[in-house]
Amino acid sequence: MPKKAIYYDTETTGLKPDRDRIVEIAAYDPIEDRSFVTLVNPMMPIPEESTRVTGITDEMVKEAPTFAQAGQDFIDFCKGDVILIAHNGDSFDKLFLINECKRENLTYPNFPHIDSLKWARKYRPDLPKHPLQYLREVYQIEANNAHRALDDVIILHKIFSTMIGDLPLEEVYLLLYQQTDAALPRVMPFGKHRGEALETLPKSYRAWFCQSGALDKPENAALKQSFDKLGLCNL
Q: Is 147 a catalytic residue?
A: yes
Q: Amino acid identity of 112?
A: P
Query: How far is the C-alpha of 136 from the C-alpha of 36, rounded, in Å?
Result: 22
The CB density around residue 37, as the number of other CB atoms within 10 Å, is 17
> In this structure, how many other beta carbons lie within 10 angstroms of the beta carbon of residue 202?
11
Catalytic residue among 87, 113, 130, 147: 147
**90 and 113 in contact (C-beta within 8 Å)?**
yes
Give CA–CA dist 200/189, Å, rounded: 14
Q: How do strand 113-115 and strand 34-39 relate by DSSP bridges?
A: unpaired
Say if residues 170 and 23 touch (Cβ distance below 8 Å): no
Paired sense of beta strands 22-29 and 4-12, if any: antiparallel
Classify burial at 41, counting beta carbons within 10 Å of its beta carbon; exposed 0-12, middle 13-18, buried 19 or more.
Answer: buried
Nearest to 188 by CA among 214, 223, 232: 223
Closest CA to 7 of 38, 24, 31: 31
Catalytic residue IDs: 147
